[in-house]
Structure 1
Amino acid sequence: MAICVERSPAMVVGLLAILKAGGAYLPLDPAYPCARLRQVLGDAAPRLLLADAAGRAALGPEALVDVSVVDLETATPAWAELSASDPEPRALGLTARHLAYVIYTSGSTGTPKGVMVEHHSLVNLGLAQLVLFGVCSNSRVVQFASFGFDASAWELVMAFGAGAALHLPADEFRQASNKLSDYLRREAITHATLPPALLQASREPGCLASQVLILAGELPKAELVRSLASASIVNAYGPTEAAVCATVWSCPDDFDGPVVPIGRPIANTRVYLLDGHGGPVPFGAVGELYIGGAGVARGYLNRPELTAERFIASPFVEGDRLYKTGDLARYLPDGNLEFLGRNDDQVKIRGFRIEPGEIAARL
Structure 2
Amino acid sequence: MTNVVPELEAVLEQVALRPDDAAVAFQGEVISYQELWDRSGRVADHVRELGATRAGVHLERSIDLVVAVVGLLRADCAAVPLDVGYPVERLRFMCADAGVRTVVGHADPLARLGGYIAVQQGGALVYAVDESVPVQPAEAELAYVVYTSGSTGRPKGVRYAHRNLANLIAWQSEASSCGVGDRTLQFAPSSFDIIYQEVLTTLGEGGTVVCCTEDERLDPQELWDLIEREQVNRIFVPFVMIQSLALFADDVSPATHPLREILTAGEQVQAGERIRAMFTRLPACRLVNQWGTTETHVSTSYELPADVSTWEDLPSIGMPIRDTRILVCDEDGRPVPDGEVGELWVAGTAVGPGYLGLPERTAQSYVPDPQRPDEPAYRTGDLGRVRPDGLLEFLGRQDTQVKVRGFRIELGEIETVLNSDPAVAQAVVSVAGSAAEERYLRAHVVPKAAGDDKLPAALLATLRERLPAYMVPTGIELVPALPLTASGKIDRLAL
Q: TM-score, normalised by structure 2?
A: 0.62
Displacement of 1:53: 1.0
- Of 120, 125, 129, the residue aligned with 2:163 is 120
Displacement of 1:312: 1.0
Displacement of 1:226: 2.2
Relative to structure 1, the CA distance from residue 345 to residue 176 in structure 2 (aligned partners, 3 Å threshold; closer, same or farther) is closer
Aligned residue number for residue 343 of structure 1:
398
Aligned residue number for residue 197 of structure 2:
154
- Of 314, 317, 323, the residue aligned with 1:259 is 314
1:54 equivalenced with 2:108 (yes/no): yes
Contact 2:334 2:370 in 1 (8 A): no
SS of the aligned residue for 1:273 comes to strand
Give the number of the structure whose alpha-carbon radius of gyration is greater: 2
SS of the aligned residue for 2:327 comes to strand
- Which one-letter code corresponds to 1:22 in the other structure? D
Aligned residue number for residue 249 of structure 1:
302
Relative to structure 1, the CA distance from residue 257 to residue 31 in structure 2 (aligned partners, 3 Å threshold; closer, same or farther) is same
SS of the aligned residue for 1:49 comes to strand
- Which one-letter code corresponds to 2:190 in the other structure? F
- Which one-letter code corresponds to 1:301 in the other structure? L
Equivalent residues in 2 for 1:221-260 (5 A)? Answer: 221-223=270-272, 225-227=275-277, 228-229=279-280, 230=282, 231-242=285-296, 244-254=297-307, 255-260=310-315
Contact 1:49 1:70 in 2 (8 A): no
Aligned residue number for residue 188 of structure 1:
231
Relative to structure 1, the CA distance from residue 98 to residue 237 in structure 2 (aligned partners, 3 Å threshold; closer, same or farther) is same
Aligned residue number for residue 359 of structure 2:
304
CA distance in 1, matches of 2:223, 2:125: 38
Aligned residue number for residue 169 of structure 1:
212
- Which one-letter code corresponds to 1:153 in the other structure? Y
Aligned residue number for residue 360 of structure 1:
none
CA distance in 1, matches of 2:68, 2:306: 40
SS of the aligned residue for 1:282 comes to coil
CA distance in 2, matches of 1:189, 1:128: 21
Equivalent residues in 2 for 1:67-216 (5 A)? Answer: 69=118, 71-72=120-121, 98-107=141-150, 111-202=154-245, 203-205=247-249, 207=252, 210-216=259-265
Displacement of 1:256: 3.1
Displacement of 1:163: 2.2
Relative to structure 1, the CA distance from residue 48 to residue 132 in structure 2 (aligned partners, 3 Å threshold; closer, same or farther) is same
Aligned residue number for residue 361 of structure 1:
none
CA distance in 2, matches of 1:75, 1:7: 13
Aligned residue number for residue 14 of structure 2:
none
Contact 1:71 1:77 in 2 (8 A): yes
RMSD over aligned CA atoms reads 2.6
Relative to structure 1, the CA distance from residue 324 to residue 209 in structure 2 (aligned partners, 3 Å threshold; closer, same or farther) is farther
Displacement of 1:56: 1.0
Which runs of 5 or more residues in structure 1 are unaligned?
A: 79-93, 348-363
Displacement of 1:272: 0.2
Aligned residue number for residue 330 of structure 2:
275
Per-residue CA deviations over 1:270-293 (Å, capped at 9, x if unaligned) read: 110000111111211111000011
Aligned residue number for residue 330 of structure 1:
385
SS of the aligned residue for 1:246 comes to strand
Relative to structure 1, the CA distance from residue 233 to residue 77 in structure 2 (aligned partners, 3 Å threshold; closer, same or farther) is closer
Displacement of 1:55: 2.3
Contact 2:106 2:126 in 1 (8 A): no
Aligned residue number for residue 11 of structure 2:
none
Per-residue CA deviations over 1:100-140 (Å, capped at 9, x if unaligned) read: 00001134785321011011111111100111113322221
Relative to structure 1, the CA distance from residue 70 to residue 306 in structure 2 (aligned partners, 3 Å threshold; closer, same or farther) is farther
Relative to structure 1, the CA distance from residue 329 to residue 75 in structure 2 (aligned partners, 3 Å threshold; closer, same or farther) is closer
Contact 1:235 1:250 in 2 (8 A): yes
Relative to structure 1, the CA distance from residue 98 to residue 17 in structure 2 (aligned partners, 3 Å threshold; closer, same or farther) is same
Relative to structure 1, the CA distance from residue 34 to residue 77 in structure 2 (aligned partners, 3 Å threshold; closer, same or farther) is closer
Q: TM-score, normalised by structure 1?
A: 0.83
Aligned residue number for residue 351 of structure 1:
none
Displacement of 1:205: 4.4
CA distance in 2, matches of 1:17, 1:285: 46
More displaced, 40-49 or 205-214?
A: 205-214
Per-residue CA deviations over 1:7-39 (Å, capped at 9, x if unaligned) read: 111111112111011111001011222122112
CA distance in 2, matches of 1:300, 1:148: 16
CA distance in 1, matches of 2:401, 2:105: 44
- Of 261, 265, 268, the residue aligned with 1:219 is 268
Which runs of 5 or more residues in structure 2 are unaligned?
A: 1-54, 128-137, 403-495
CA distance in 2, matches of 1:248, 1:311: 22
Aligned residue pairs, count: 326
Aligned residue number for residue 339 of structure 2:
284
CA distance in 2, matches of 1:241, 1:74: 34
CA distance in 1, matches of 2:313, 2:67: 43
- Of 31, 52, 58, the residue aligned with 1:4 is 58
More displaced, 310-319 or 138-147?
A: 310-319
- Which one-letter code corresponds to 1:171 in the other structure? E
Relative to structure 1, the CA distance from residue 75 to residue 148 in structure 2 (aligned partners, 3 Å threshold; closer, same or farther) is closer
SS of the aligned residue for 1:219 comes to coil
- Which one-letter code corresponds to 2:78 in the other structure? A
Relative to structure 1, the CA distance from residue 278 to residue 52 in structure 2 (aligned partners, 3 Å threshold; closer, same or farther) is same
Displacement of 1:332: 1.8
